[in-house]
Amino acid sequence: MDRSTKEKVIAQARQDPFLTVEEIAKMAETTERYVRTILSEADLSLTQMRKTYARSLERRLGRLVPKQDLPVQKELKISQLRSARLAGKLNLPQGQELFEISHLTTKKGVLSYVQLVTAEQVVLAPQRNCLRELLPYPAGEVYAGEQKAETVAAGPGLAEILDLLPDQRVLKISTLLHRGKEPIALEFRWLPWEGIVLRWSAQSREVEVLQTG
């Protein structure tokens, strides 16, 4: 277990406490056992970091009261990070500084937590329907490329944010956004998967999230 592996594990855990031990191990190219050892020696707890992250979001976002079929927007959280993995997906140098913008939103009655990761200079605007509108390009120039949907453990932080039980799983939709042929941003969306239908159509480039019933 060399120093670089230790640094990778600690950096990944701090950047995204919602990652599992297995995911961190894969990113750092080590074993789950070593990940647990490194976190223990560094006195880091993923569970505690998730709780801290959730409390920070609660202070920023306040209580969310969804309105029928209307987008619910709360205060944005904007931070900067460095992630070789995410930069690689955007065809950027490993050390490229990235912006991470996140918020809670309700669209078509579905509550979700959304993150946008990009190296582009975001344009803050009081009126917006989604985080993509903060990118410095007309909406018609930005489109969804590769998409992936999977169920993941919510963890205590996301569970609290989305008003779920701690042991519930959530649906995570990852979308690579393009302008022309170049990827410009990554969008991650977490939402309760129960009562949700994903629909693809020939008329749309990306998946549509609908409520059942």
What does the pLDDT profile of the chain (213 residues) look like in tens digits? 455 888 889 888 888 777 888 889 998 889 999 999 999 998 888 878 776 765 555 454 444 333 323 233 345 678 888 899 999 999 999 888 898 888 888 887 888 889 999 999 887 765 667 888 888 888 789 999 999 888 888 877 788 888 887 778 888 999 999 999 999 999 999 988 777 788 877 667 777 887 775
- Which residues 6+ apart lie within 8 Å of 76 measured at CB? 101, 102, 103, 124
Looking at the chain, which runs of residues are DSSP E strands?
77-82, 97-107, 110-118, 142-153, 169-179, 182-192, 196-199, 208-211
Cα–Cα distance for residue pair 44/47, rounded to 1 Å? 9
Which pair of tokens denotes residue 197? 């239908």
Would you state the pLDDT for residue 63?
41
Indicate yes or no: pTM above 0.75: no
Residue 69: count of CB within 10 angstroms of its CB: 9
